[in-house]
Structure 1
Amino acid sequence: MTVLRPLLAAALAAPLLLTAACGDSSSGGSSGTNTASKLPKTLVFSPLSLAPPALKGLSEGVKAYAPSQGWEVIVQDPNFDATKQTQQLNEVISSGRAGAAWVLAVAPKSMGQILKAAQSKGVPILVNGKPDEYGFTGPQPGITFDYIDYDAGGKELGSQLGKCITEKLGGTAKVLYTSSQEGTAGKEAFDKAALDALKTAAPGATVVQTLPVTDRAKAQTDVGNVLQGNPDLAAVMSANDEGALGAIGAAGAAGKKLTCVTDFGGNDEVLQSVKDGKIYASVALQFQADMTQSFDTLVKMQADPKANGPILIVPQKTTTAGS
């Protein structure tokens, strides 16, 4: 299953508001304009579920912004059920109510019929992931793909930790890697990129343990146990906010300070910890910027829904104490 990583819950904890400028739907070729003129300005938003606060907040942001741009919004809630998601989407696309669709697919492989239905109706659709996850080899008519570059994120995370170890620990340190859980989207690529980048940036660093993390409280307990077995542990590289914050909490409880901590997530507490010097660097996916480009792209695609949609990448930003 392809998802926008569990760190969505952290990265989108604050209210998310779209700030995109509405594209001009009157442009494009004659065939595209004729098709677009028949499409309602109604956006169907189908996230994985509305249960996670992050996704609920995202849906509220869409509902708050779209009307100001002359769009209506239909929000669906498949509640992590791929069959329910395809049924809901099929109903609204087949009925002619949808003017565009934005889908965080529960199971990309189940979306084939929906993508064909949207194309046949001339309804532009944006889905998370890369074309190959949906059985395609490149850009497709009326479909925009929006994906997370896990290689780039992992490389930046490892490079930042290596930089800290070189600057503050003379290039040598014991490292704990708090990773994401098995089955998390992009995990294999992210882990490899992070560990390879760390080795390149700080060859003298040694990863003494890899600890899968999803829950902060458990992470603090588990990292505390690791610290007992490795009292000279000085660095933590974390694939999510829970691991980074849990490690800081564990170190504080043990009466010590971790010299180098890097994080992939970037929630408000993490960013404050960067300012306070507790975390060296945080690499964060910029979901608000991604929402801007996603909505803007769908609006523009209405002008010519039969043209190949673009392939978008979720922006990333690294924050350090000095930035």
Structure 2
Amino acid sequence: MGTGLLLGVLSIVSVLLALAAWLWGTASSREQRQASLQHAEQQLARGTAPAAVRPEAARAPIAAPGRTAGNRRSLPWDGLLQSAGLPAGWKVPLSVLLPGMALAVLAVARLGTAWMFPLTLLLYLLGAWLWLARRTTRLKARLLHQLPDFLDNLVRMTALGNSLQAAFQVASTQTTAPLRELLDTTLRNARSGMELDRALSVASQPYRMEVLGVLAVVMGVSVRIGGRSDQILQRMADFMRDLEQAQQELAATTAETRMSAWVLGLLPPASVVMMAIASPDFFQPVLHDPLGHKILLMALGLELAGGFLLYRLARSI
């Protein structure tokens, strides 16, 4: 009973550390996106006709369609996989989950306790989540890097006398992945009967980038009301370049602290699992001896205190 309780508490500690790091990351990204959106709204408000763009419209949630392009029912994790640049469906989740299950079974066989199964699987899934979050961040950075050039092409096409819809279609053929995939999805939605701004909002929903929502609102106002959309799009392109530069500087400044927090927070529970799998005979006294229980409880207390301090340190950046 004592062994199961200690391993259960260790699993809870790992979950709390992951949740704390996730809350810190999402809080900082939300603050940055909010500031970026406010700055974009101020830039858009300097235009003529597009000044009617409302912040509420830019932030309005767009309902995702229930089925994908192939008339296949969308799965709950399809949007998450799409935001990471991975194909939707069952293949990727199964290919990620099966090695974790095998590692968890190996840990149970080596240590002889069923509590190693959820603990090992939890740590493995946490590592997979970090890999997925990293891919999502890199994909968003690539999208933000490609958007200004796309807007420049859009401005040139509209300045030559093309309509916004025609300019959007021509400019989308001159882009590369991953922005090309998003624009192709937008054009497919538009051909199916959606308005262009609505099609862009639906296609960009999995990526959760406010700049795409603002771009959809600007395009919708330009199509329905008119005005100098080329000037607004040019301001947005300049703003996106400034935003990309600011994000790169922030990432370079805080990279060492964020990586240190992750490594120091996850190293102790990962080391426990690896020690238990590699040398179960060496680890058995810690699980069955009263002194080993006390050592584990002390380690759990230090882990909780260290995780809290690392969370405060990361939040103070």
Fold agreement, TM-score > 0.5: no
Structure with the bigger percentage of helix? 2
**TM-score, structure 1 as length reference:** 0.25
Structure with the bigger percentage of strand? 1
Larger relative contact order, structure 1 or 2 (CA cutoff 8 Å, min sep 6): 2
Whose radius of gyration is greater, 1 or 2?
A: 2
